Structure 1
Amino acid sequence: MTSDVGQATVAVLGLGAMGLPMATRLAGAFTVTGYDPMPASRERAETTGLSCAATAADAVVGAGIVLVAVRDAAQVEGVLFGGDGIAPALAPGTVVVMTSTVGMDAVASWTERLDDLGVALVDAPLSGGPVRAGDGDLLIVVGAHPSALEAARPVLERLASTLTVVGSKPGDGQALKTVNQLLCGVHIAAAAEALALADALGLDQQLALAALETGAASSFMLSNRGPRMMHGYDGDADVLSRLDIFVKDLGIVGKAARTAGLATPVAAAAEQLFLLGQTQGLGTADDSSVIRVVAPQRRTAGTDATGTDATGKDTDGTETAR
């Protein structure tokens, strides 16, 4: 493959919660041009000093690496091959790095169509959230031809603290990310149920969380989402990962499992919690708000597990027989 572009020039398409911190992180080591269809997102990016193009096609001109950070497969399709897609503007030798979690279905088609243009696709879904993206502390799993991977490696290593190559073809990264999201979704749902149960049993959630984190029941999602679950009841939890992302991702998990002929009943149960949250208007809230599906409100402060307070009265003020 003959390259007509400079590998030190990067275009970042999608300047949302993950795309913007990745772009600013890359700008510390590469020449970066960003693009987002939302004017407000471009304006926010420009306040960080990032250079933004007026169109996606303009952004990729001269870029050796094009990093795509959009929501789902439909958006990837539109960015690459839609009416305003970048495919006609990509020079031979360009490497497209797809960071989105989109499932495996369309990856083979995208790879083939880009290959016809002399462009390689690196399948590199990632995990870690916006703060870690800005710090270069992401987990990235990669499926790519070795030559494409080597071209993209400096960009990937700038973003990742853990870079795991899982296969030699695009789609392999999506496969492992699907497995990853099964566990993440289940762990968040389980953390929500556990902390809701602690509250229902009259325990202090903060103390319960601290105790659970020291033992065998601990998990990254319990420690990371647990405090946000409690803040969410007060309406002040930061939105670091939207709840409806897990509606999408656990949908991908379910489809992949059915295609493989594998039952995943625990993942399916977790998916239902996130779906319920979305139907209750929590789709754009932080995914930790799934605890409000399990327990819409905290118990009254000072109430014990029997529904009585320290005076021996029911929470409605009536005396309780003992």
Structure 2
Amino acid sequence: MSDKSIGVIGLGAMGRGMAASLRRAGWRVHVCDVRAEAAQAFAAEGGVACGSPAELAAQCEVIVSVVVNAAQTEAVLFGDGGAAVNMKPGSLFIMCSTVDPNWSVQLEARLAAQGVLYLDAPISGGAAKAASGEMTMMTAGTPAAYAKAGGALEAMAAKVYRLGERAGNGSKVKIINQLLAGVHIAAAAEAMALGLREGVKAEDLYDVITHSAGNSWMFENRMAHVLAGDYTPLSAVDIFVKDLGLVLDTARATKFPLPLSATAHQMFMQASTAGYAREDDAAVIKIFPGITLPPGAAGA
């Protein structure tokens, strides 16, 4: 497979690891990022740096987009220097962002009009699993799109779920995952805050909960950040402002009530407005009054 080229646009926490996983699997990986230095650093390790999505698309028939949201995906495809201008009929665009499912459906149709295949393929698992090729992909698309992907999906992910033969279900399942993730983080922060308020040592509470029925993956992962007083953004507060907003927008269209999601969304909104927007999403704990957080927690 060493002669097969693939492009990765977006070298953030997830995209960088995905590009590395593809390279380990034998692909010739072309990369592009708004930070030219990120692309050059990857090229120094054996990849190929491109100056724009259009330049990348001219060299790759399969493109993996790992940007933050729908607006950035639009820019990657249709903005100045966008990939769409150089995407040939029969080429494939794999969209890995968390977006409105209806927008993903529309993008599939828009690309189909120029003969380009599309996979609705949001991702989950965090930077560590992306780097090891062990993340989860929630995908939907035509049989032709899957065929064009070859082994690329399996090179990036340990679990590749095929959820339908047209776009939409991949994004629907991803936002439901984000519903749970956001609510779990908010609940974990609330529980830790109550423990601190009641005078329980944070490390004692963490140890007990992580060995008891009340534990969750998010409690174990995110409250470790609180114990360390480290809010370096692995996933920022504003990611859940966006993602829970997508959850609520989707449910609102069919008048479906989501009381826990709405409350968690307000908690992340409060944290964002209070100045913690770019901190790790565990910083939602900082909205609770009258508690003393472990040392170092006051900083960004």
Indicate the TM-score class for this superposition, using the shorter chain for normalisation: over 0.9
Q: How does 1:79-90 map to 2 (within 5 A)?
A: 79-90=76-87
Query: Is this contact kept in 1: 2:139–2:161, CA < 8 A?
Result: yes
Answer whether contact 2:276 2:283 (CA < 8 A) is retained.
yes
Residues 7 and 63, structure 1, Cα contact 8 Å, conserved in 2: no
Q: Deviations over 1:92-143 (max 9, x none)?
A: 2111110000111322221112112211110010111111100011111111
What letter is aligned with 1:150? A
Partner of residue 127, structure 1: 124
Matched, 1:192 2:189: yes
Count of aligned residue pairs for this structure pair: 293
Q: Give the structure 1 partner of residue 213 of structure 2.
A: 216
**Structure-1 separation of matches of 2:207 and 2:143:** 44
* Aligned partners of 1:7 and 1:151 also within 8 Å: no
Correspondent of 2:238 among 230, 240, 244: 244
Partner AA of 1:267 in structure 2 = S
Partner of 1:55: 52
Aligned equivalent of 2:20, options 20, 24, 27: 24
Query: Structure 1 195/141 Cα, relative in aligned 2: closer, same or farther at 3 Å?
Result: same
Cα shift at 1:296: 7.1
Within 5 Å, give how 1:88-237 maps onto structure 2. 88-232=85-229, 236-237=230-231
User: Aligned ranges for residues 261-272 of structure 1 at < 5 Å?
Assistant: 261-272=255-266
**Alpha carbons 2:36, 2:51 under 8 Å: kept:** no
Query: Hey, what's the Cα distance between the residues in 1 that align with 2:273 and 2:257?
Result: 25
Equivalent position SS for 2:163: strand
Q: State the Cα distance separating 1:12 from its structure 2 match.
A: 0.5
Answering whether residue 250 of structure 2 is matched by residue 253 of structure 1, we say no
Q: CA deviation at 1:41?
A: 2.7
Change (3 A) 1:63 1:184: same
Q: CA RMSD in A?
A: 1.9
Counterpart for residue 38 of structure 2: 41
* Distance in structure 2 (CA, Å) of the matches to 1:10 and 1:296: 52
Whole-Å separation in 2 of the counterparts to 1:299 and 1:159: 37
1:291 alignment counterpart:
285
Shift of 1:65: 1.2
* Aligned residues of 1:186 and 1:267 also touching (Cα < 8 A): yes
**Conserved in 2, the CA contact under 8 Å of 1:34 and 1:52?**
yes
Whose radius of gyration is greater, 1 or 2?
1
* Matching residue of 2:298: none
Instruction: Report SS of the residue matched to 2:200.
Output: coil
Matched-pair identity in % = 35
Residues 162 and 79 (structure 1 numbering): CA distance in 2 closer, same or farther, change over 3 Å?
same
- The CA distance in 1 between the partners of 2:271 and 2:231, in whole Å, is 16
2:283 alignment partner AA:
S
TM-score (norm 2): 0.92
Shift of 1:46: 3.5
Check the 8 A contact 2:226/2:293 in 1, yes or no: no
**Inter-CA distance 297–277: structure 2 relative to 1 (3 Å threshold):** same
| Residues 74 and 36 (structure 1), Cα distance of their counterparts in 2 relative to 1, 3 Å cut | same
**Residue 101 of structure 2 aligns to a residue in which SS?**
coil
CA contact (8 A) 1:25 1:135 kept: yes
Does the 8 A contact of 1:8 with 1:64 survive in 2?
no
Q: Supply the AA of the counterpart residue of 2:131.
A: G
Report the residue type matching 2:5 in the other structure: T
For residues 84 and 72 of structure 2, the distance between their equivalents in structure 1, rounded to whole angstroms, comes to 14
Aligned-partner Cα distance in 2 for 1:283–1:299: 18
Contact 1:24–1:48, Cα closer than 8 Å, also in 2: no
- Alpha-carbon distance between aligned partners in 2 of 1:160 and 1:243, rounded to the nearest angstrom: 25
Q: 1:258 to 1:7 in 2, by over 3 A?
A: farther
| Greater Cα offset, 152-161 or 218-227 | 152-161
The match for 1:64 is 61
Distance in 2, matches of 1:7 and 1:246, equals 39
Aligned twin of 1:304: none
Deviation at 1:237, TM superposition (A): 3.6
